[in-house]
Structure 1
Amino acid sequence: MLRILLLATVVVSGADSSADITLVAVGSHGTILRTTDGGDNWSQQPLNITRELRAVDFVDPELGWTSGMFEFQTTTTSLATMRYTLDGGLSWRDADFQTMQNNFMVNDINFFNSSTGWIVGGLGNVWCSCNGGLSWAKQYPGESSDFNGVEFVGTSRGWVVGGTIVHTADAGRTWTTQYRLSNAQSTDVDFVDEYEGWVVGTSGHGILHTTNGGATWSGQPYPGPAASL
């Protein structure tokens, strides 16, 4: 039996009723699932890859991207898996990742609009695209630990999280470290505006909250055991 681990889900479009919500979920073995009735019924989308998909993002009901583990191109070369859709996830096309470094694994994607987006992942790197993911430029020199989440509010202010929380106010041209975790990893980040946001992660810090754009962070209590979030 094939076991599928769903690693990311995104709301593609929605209406007043949950029965009208379209979602796309991605996971292990190159799996992409899609529902148009709020999750009551799911269909698997054809995709000729076997590598794990770890991230998915849509900027409108039609245009989206998914990416994850690297695929082996030759015995010495492997490039990150990346596909994009123009029809809400019904079909997916290859994205050219030739500009990406060898053995790079994508953990998260965040596109602000149809052209400008960021990816983060293994080796503590941040990459940016200004042409809808057709080519990518490295923006951050890398760290010893992976980056797991990325969030931008507008095209200038963004945050990337992993073993540290780093921030840019100039679209990624420069980055500053806002918070460094001790023996823990942040797994995701979300901001509602340029001031208020949350970071979640492994046991040891749980939930971090800021109301000043990340200048300071404070822990928030949450129910349950001190396990990974």
Structure 2
Amino acid sequence: MKRFILVIILLILPATAAIAAHWHQLPVSFNYEFTSLYFVDENRGYLVSREGLVVSLDLSGATPQIETASFPSNLYDICFLPDGKNGFAVGDDGLILQSVDAGRNWTASNRHPDMRLTAISFIDSLHGFIAGSNYSKTSIDVGFILSTSDGGKTWDSLNVAGRKIRHIDISPEQLITVTGLRTVYLSDNMGKEWDTAEVASGKIPMAAVIRGNYGILVGGSGLLALSSDRGKSWEITNVLVDTATYFDILMLDSKRAYIVGTYGDILYTEDSGRNWTPEASTVGFDLNAIQKVGRRIYACGKRGTIIYTDLEE
């Protein structure tokens, strides 16, 4: 009997060795709703808030070092180029912020007062994409995708039409996945051509991510859709509680993933989203975004929440 138990343990350990065990709150105090975060390494990160704040964090010392910059528009997403110096943030009123000095200073450009820019991501130092919607009284929620091929100096509108286009993910294989209302947009050639896949649900999608052939899409009222054909089709499941909304996804690979949502919910899967295990986030406020850098995972949300965990070796 003892020999049988030992064999089972050896079989289980490799599959669970990378599970994050404990979540901790950063010792910082904010009363903002953080909508997105981007860490360039485990100790240096940036966050944006719905109140128009850009926060720079340096966690390398005994006490976190904090710098802030304030802007008059809601901010929804932030990212940095591979050099860690050039960064961008986007928000309401067509606001695009840029920093060329690792977040010490930010300059703003307003493209259009009726644009809500909700996501930004770069493939490399030159090619990037912005997702957003037009929320004027005459054309509410008409979505669009902007692209740049010169490192963000200029942005052009792509020939992609939809509603509530809000989230961008770029896989290690450079598959671009953009989430819209009932539609997922896919491009594997730098945005030159786009395929679409319908998500037949009356619920609002928030984010879709694809790794390998497997994809996970989450949204309002417990929406969960899964793909096993690289996003060409999506299967709606009824696994998640329909009173929760999930806002963001972190896929570690084609099998393992985290999703974050309302009331501090963090769920983990090891089978591409078929089954989920809740993790104790230690907070009760909505979590809007999650990111992995090195062996550390960060998440942020309402009430200035910033939490982290370290993946076990």
| CA offset digits 1:145-196 (Å, max 9, x no partner) | 1111121224x22211113222212112332345333211110001121122
**RMSD of Structure 2 on Structure 1 (CA):** 2.8
1:150-161 matches, within 5 Å, as 150-154=208-212, 156-161=213-218
| CA offset digits 1:54-77 (Å, max 9, x no partner) | 1111111110100111367xx679
Q: Flag as ranges the 4+ runs of structure 1 deviating above 6 A.
A: none
Displacement, 1:121? 2.5
Do residues 145 (structure 1) and 203 (structure 2) align? yes
How many pairs align? 215
AA aligned opposite 1:87: D
Displacement, 1:140? 2.0
Displacement, 1:120? 1.2
The two structures have a TM-score, normalised by structure 1, of 0.81
In structure 1, the gaps of 5 or more residues are: 15-19
Say which of 120, 134, 137 aligns to 1:70: 134
Other structure's SS at 1:106 match: coil
Aligned partners of 1:113 and 1:91: how far apart in 2?
A: 25
AA aligned opposite 1:3: P
Do residues 199 (structure 1) and 262 (structure 2) align? no
1:143-222 matches, within 5 Å, as 143-154=201-212, 156-162=213-219, 163-178=222-237, 179-203=239-263, 206-222=265-281
Aligned partners of 2:140 and 2:98: how far apart in 1?
A: 31
Change (3 A) 1:66 1:128: same
Task: Pick which of 126-135 and 22-31 moved more.
Answer: 126-135
Aligned partners of 2:248 and 2:198: how far apart in 1?
A: 18
2:310 alignment counterpart: none
The percent of aligned pairs where both chains have the same amino acid is 23
Say which of 22, 25, 47 aligns to 2:89: 25
In structure 2, the gaps of 5 or more residues are: 1-70, 288-313
Aligned partners of 2:281 and 2:125: how far apart in 1?
A: 33
Aligned partners of 1:217 and 1:187: how far apart in 2?
A: 16
AA aligned opposite 2:171: F
Do residues 83 (structure 1) and 146 (structure 2) align? yes
Say if 1:71 and 1:80, in contact at 8 Å, map to a contact too: no
Other structure's SS at 1:160 match: strand
Aligned partners of 1:110 and 1:151: how far apart in 2?
A: 6
Say if 1:54 and 1:68, in contact at 8 Å, map to a contact too: yes
AA aligned opposite 1:157: Y
Aligned partners of 1:46 and 1:169: how far apart in 2?
A: 40
